[in-house]
Structure 1
């Protein structure tokens, strides 16, 4: 030994640490470690013990071993039957590795012995007493260290030795023990050890409190179990079977296994306690039972995994619905935003359109495309607020409102929830249900929806609400403000034809038990069916007529008259009877005082013939044909414009003094209104007064001002299709409606010539036959 520096074999320890004056048994199994022990035994039995930084390392490198360890003496070595060597070692003194001299067969290190650094004796004495007192308190709480150990430790006078012996008995982490081993100053070591024991004592105190609490809880549970078993035995002796106790047990088990939040579980347990105490014959007993069953039946956290894939959703919407391109586009935009934001919060979609256009089936398709459960609630005729919010439990026969009922049917917290016919809600003295719907449809409020029956708040924020309506005007403004409207105007004839071939006919063939080859309906027959047997925006009546054809075909086949039925335009009347409707046709020749207008109706588009006649009189203007207020005003505007422009139009300036004018729109039983007949009326008037005929192949639509300006109109797609159907080849439209031409099907668009105008003079130029 020179300057306290010596060379010794190194034994790396895993999860252990040896302090000076500490005697410990070690099990040694690694080859390098066994070689190091054998080398020490061949010499003066001295070895250096240092801990590994990571226990999991099997073959450590010098960087994986702490620098400070203990110089120790191998007292005994014993080979066990399993091949492990058990070694008894005694720590002698702290030491620090200076360098590694050998790493092949075993680690050989050069170490420097570390001397203890003592401070003020009185200070160390005071710290020793504090440490002993704390150690004694710790022993009483832990009960893992014997009183004899404390007695032995109390006799130690050396503060350094005392700190090491106490540290060796404490269940500290290897990292904390290493920190103590590396502290050479005795005073600092005592202070650190006092801090560590204080922390351990606090942890033990907390463990003791938790243990007492668990024990008390277990005793209470055991007591309740014992009393319940006694109650069962008493009921058995009295001849009662399970009685109410069995029912309570079943409900309690369901509550424990349910997915209810903790606050709802507490409410349910409280109600169950009341249920248990109330006699079974009491009316309140059944009220509580029903309430508990509703709580258990509602989904509180169960949800389906959303699969918002835009391509998949687009494919499903195209499978289920033909046409409606703008509607589908808006729905896909809505789903794309939901996927990006991972949130349902946003506008509530409201599908608005006439009956039979597929609003409900669109909502079903949305549910299928995002892999969510679908639930529908019809709001038609609902006039009581309790229908939405539920009844108070104090009322006889009280039940939750339709929203909570719908969630029970849905069985998940994130269904697609259809509020059907939201415009059909009304109100009376019992409240306004549309006001109750405000909370349901407001994304900022519906996470805490309150139903009067359930009483506890229910989270609706994960629900995808979709509403449907026929008329926007019937929806209250505050409710409308919470929804985004998607208008479904209806289907064109071309779209109806595709829907009939691809959806309605296959469905009805299956429902009526017909094979595909047993009934064939030609395209011209389907088109005739659409035009002359139905008049609607949707396809509901069309489906009924196809169903009627299927039934008649089934009768013919079963009767044995034919094995196969082919429906053509010719035999359609024989099978279904006379047509129910007629559609407008263009004039066969140019007419004076008659112009063809284009109209938009609830059933799509139609042509509108406007006739003008003048005869001697005093300038009286007569309007017939059940015209609405707007059409009457359009006629007045056209009349005023012509009076102001008699010179330019080559009309007698005093015609209003010598002639009466009669404007008539045929089909007088059908109400007609709208501004788009303005230029048609003006053209018919000019034709009648000038004697110039109106071209038979020209149809027109547009609103007129007193100065002759032509203003834009709506429904150009439907109007163009009706014109095409009637055989019209040229359509005069307002210049501002040019953007709507692209909405018209290409097959129809290619057969029509669109003339864009912004003034009545241009209309007359293209509509009237030139004078020879």
Structure 2
């Protein structure tokens, strides 16, 4: 036998030329006489397989030089291939095809041609150069002994296979191919064996490769014993990785991962991360290198690594420290809202003196349309931070906040981490909208999950279920918004600094309309200040007659409606001129007024009292009517009232009965008269502890016949002894009273501390009376009969 492997004979004689459908193989080599499954996913390969099944089930299989080539041509394929017979074909649910093929003979590729949707190969069947006599026996025995030695060393070859190979001693070529097919050689070595047509040289090459593989395996056992002492406390997979690295080092290979893994590893080295996160990334990367790229777990691990690398662990935007500039931006974006603005300026001032303070948790509470979200956006502008917004309205799943656990494909971090990745900075202004509208069901309580996010003592080590490592949220300036406070759980409310934004007065709405809304809507509708001018009376008409709200959202809609009407007129006439919008023009564009100029009665009435109520849209004037009629002392309360208001009515009647002499009311009125207390707009549910003194005043007025001052409103709860209790929402209620023409408001003396929140313009135009007992209320509210 020759010892020169460089002169391997691959020029065996060609027997005949054949033409069969071609199937390129990516990472395998098929030897003659071998039966093996082949998985095919490319459309050309599947079509070629189908054509072969329709004919004689013969197909030509050739290995690709580069397994990543999608549509290989002749230059991309190995010269030598194998003609095979298809013994079984199965279509899998994912669209791929599994075929069981049996190799028949070697073939040298001549040319390719594309036929319809598959490729046909023209190849020459190659005849093998046989070996005879003692040389054949020596070759067979040497190869068999080497294979048996490797099988005994590795323990990976079954005894049944060794016995089966013993029956191939009379066919050296088939024996060599069978051994080569069952050895873990590299693809390049198997190609070399397939290319070798001289059986003697093939057996010699096979023996050499088996000996090299045996030496590698023996070396691995030696390295295993050396490394085991140092690796007892490490995980099994980490140990296997070290073992493979050591094997490659002994073989002289570089041991580097593929280009994709190299790129990912370089990202890990460049990324600045906390120690815990860096350790998690390195641990998952080592697992990923050992996994098959086709496994679903590899996808999960890869996505996890990408998430950790994409987060802005230490990347922060530069915060502005110019308080004057911040004040200018806040004043430009919002009229009024002095308390929230002052809080932001305080935060900036402290930050100028202190190197780092934990971001405050501000909760802006107020009715819709008062500018809570836009104020959060202005905070971001004034501080130079990025702005992020998450709407929590209707969120039911705790995983929306904390993320999903990495137990299945498709798991993702929570909205907090997702938004930080999107922004790219770790210190944005985070607006959590509608924090009062979260729900709870079987998927968890998201409001409880927010406790860790919004707690300054805990959010520096926030643990998302998906990341499973701590993330520092303490640099984030959280701003939450809500319409009401009572629907926010007490533990969550305790974490936040509540700033009330009750609503705007008529004067403030006018300034906002002229300074913000009208210029904005003119620009949005393609107009300029030279096209339209709103007079002061026109703006007041829109505010008084077409909107009734605490905010300015509907006011902006009405202004936008007027602008659209002007644009339509310009387009239809083709004439562009200045439109001076007066009260008459407003009525023309917006139609009949939706609200009266005042909701007050034209004159003082008996049994009709102006109460004040609080709603999510702000304050509201609540008319309470009472009448008496002959009866048996029944008291009825109507108007779709809640239990609290019904109890207030009962307490009011009981108070009147207990003080009937002082009030100059007949002692037996409750036996001869029925009392009916009604709150109009019965379709609207009403409840709350603030209508007690209003109902009591209405009952006294109806029983005594004394009218109630129509320009007086009141709010407060009553006890059975006549004490007036304080109520909430005072600012909203007084703003609503002022908007409807009320000149005097009666409140509990205990609400005196809340008067400071009332705008000074309202305090100047309205008399605020503080009372302690119900008798004081009646003296202020009731007027003499002669004044009727």
Q: Does 1:398 align with 2:408?
A: no
Q: Does 1:756 align with 2:752?
A: no
**Aligned residue in 1 for 2:516:** 503
**Aligned residue in 2 for 1:637:** 651
Q: Secondary structure at the match of 1:605?
A: strand
Q: Secondary structure at the match of 1:327?
A: helix
Q: Secondary structure at the match of 1:473?
A: coil
Q: Secondary structure at the match of 1:675?
A: coil
1:489 shift after superposition: 2.4
TM-score by length of 1: 0.64
1:461 pairs, out of 438, 450, 474, with: 474
Runs of 5+ unmatched residues, structure 1: 1-219, 232-243
Q: Secondary structure at the match of 2:721?
A: coil
Q: Does 1:675 align with 2:675?
A: no
Q: Conserved in 2, the CA contact under 8 Å of 1:594 and 1:684?
A: yes
1:124-163 map, 5 Å: none
Residues 265 and 584 (structure 1), Cα distance of their counterparts in 2 relative to 1, 3 Å cut: same
Residues 661 and 329 (structure 1), Cα distance of their counterparts in 2 relative to 1, 3 Å cut: same
**Aligned residue in 1 for 2:601:** 587
**Aligned residue in 2 for 1:257:** 270
Q: Secondary structure at the match of 1:472?
A: coil
Summarize deviations over 1:616-635 as a string: whole Å, max 9, x none.
Answer: 11111122222232222222
**Aligned residue in 2 for 1:482:** 495
1:77-476 map, 5 Å: 227=253, 245-261=258-274, 264-345=277-358, 348-476=361-489
**Aligned residue in 1 for 2:209:** none
Residues 599 and 376 (structure 1), Cα distance of their counterparts in 2 relative to 1, 3 Å cut: closer
Residue correspondences, number: 540
Q: Distance in 1 between matches of 2:312 and 2:782?
A: 70
**Aligned residue in 1 for 2:530:** 517
1:512 shift after superposition: 1.2
Summarize deviations over 1:300-320 as a string: whole Å, max 9, x none.
Answer: 212123334444433332222
**Aligned residue in 2 for 1:703:** 717
Q: Distance in 2 between matches of 1:471 and 1:414?
A: 28
**Aligned residue in 2 for 1:50:** none
Residues 754 and 398 (structure 1), Cα distance of their counterparts in 2 relative to 1, 3 Å cut: closer
1:334 shift after superposition: 4.4
Q: Distance in 2 between matches of 1:683 and 1:346?
A: 49
Q: Conserved in 1, the CA contact under 8 Å of 2:608 and 2:624?
A: yes
**Aligned residue in 2 for 1:687:** 701
1:597 shift after superposition: 2.7
Summarize deviations over 1:43-74 as a string: whole Å, max 9, x none.
Answer: xxxxxxxxxxxxxxxxxxxxxxxxxxxxxxxx
Q: Conserved in 2, the CA contact under 8 Å of 1:414 and 1:463?
A: yes
Q: Secondary structure at the match of 1:318?
A: helix
Q: Distance in 1 between matches of 2:472 and 2:738?
A: 53
Q: Distance in 2 between matches of 1:376 and 1:353?
A: 18
Q: Distance in 2 between matches of 1:717 and 1:600?
A: 10
Q: Conserved in 2, the CA contact under 8 Å of 1:308 and 1:369?
A: no
1:340 shift after superposition: 4.5
Q: Distance in 2 between matches of 1:740 and 1:268?
A: 55
1:570 pairs, out of 573, 576, 584, with: 584
Q: Does 1:624 align with 2:638?
A: yes
**Aligned residue in 1 for 2:148:** none
Q: Distance in 1 between matches of 2:649 and 2:472?
A: 57
Q: Conserved in 1, the CA contact under 8 Å of 2:598 and 2:741?
A: no
Q: Secondary structure at the match of 2:737?
A: helix
Q: Conserved in 2, the CA contact under 8 Å of 1:492 and 1:604?
A: no
Residues 482 and 358 (structure 1), Cα distance of their counterparts in 2 relative to 1, 3 Å cut: same
Q: Conserved in 1, the CA contact under 8 Å of 2:504 and 2:735?
A: no
Residues 281 and 605 (structure 1), Cα distance of their counterparts in 2 relative to 1, 3 Å cut: closer
Residues 747 and 446 (structure 1), Cα distance of their counterparts in 2 relative to 1, 3 Å cut: closer
1:395 shift after superposition: 0.8
**Aligned residue in 1 for 2:560:** 547
1:704 shift after superposition: 2.3
Q: Conserved in 2, the CA contact under 8 Å of 1:711 and 1:734?
A: yes
1:266 shift after superposition: 4.7
2:660 pairs, out of 623, 639, 646, with: 646
Summarize deviations over 1:395-436 as a string: whole Å, max 9, x none.
Answer: 112222222112212212222222223333334333333333
Q: Distance in 1 between matches of 2:265 and 2:370?
A: 49
Q: Distance in 2 between matches of 1:696 and 1:383?
A: 47
Q: Does 1:714 align with 2:701?
A: no
Q: Distance in 2 between matches of 1:677 and 1:313?
A: 43
CA RMSD of aligned residues (A): 3.1
**Aligned residue in 2 for 1:725:** 739
TM-score by length of 2: 0.63
Summarize deviations over 1:648-667 as a string: whole Å, max 9, x none.
Answer: 22222222222112222222
1:257 shift after superposition: 2.8
Q: Conserved in 2, the CA contact under 8 Å of 1:557 and 1:564?
A: no
1:339 shift after superposition: 4.6
Summarize deviations over 1:582-620 as a string: whole Å, max 9, x none.
Answer: 565222223223233333333333333322222211111
Q: Conserved in 1, the CA contact under 8 Å of 2:360 and 2:477?
A: no
Q: Conserved in 2, the CA contact under 8 Å of 1:375 and 1:409?
A: no
Q: Secondary structure at the match of 1:557?
A: helix
Q: Secondary structure at the match of 1:249?
A: helix
1:518 shift after superposition: 1.1
Task: Determine which structure has more spread, i.e. the larger CA radius of gyration.
Answer: 1
Q: Secondary structure at the match of 2:584?
A: coil
1:702 shift after superposition: 3.0
**Aligned residue in 1 for 2:243:** none
Q: Conserved in 1, the CA contact under 8 Å of 2:506 and 2:739?
A: no
Q: Distance in 1 between matches of 2:391 and 2:561?
A: 28
Summarize deviations over 1:85-127 as a string: whole Å, max 9, x none.
Answer: xxxxxxxxxxxxxxxxxxxxxxxxxxxxxxxxxxxxxxxxxxx
Q: Does 1:665 align with 2:698?
A: no
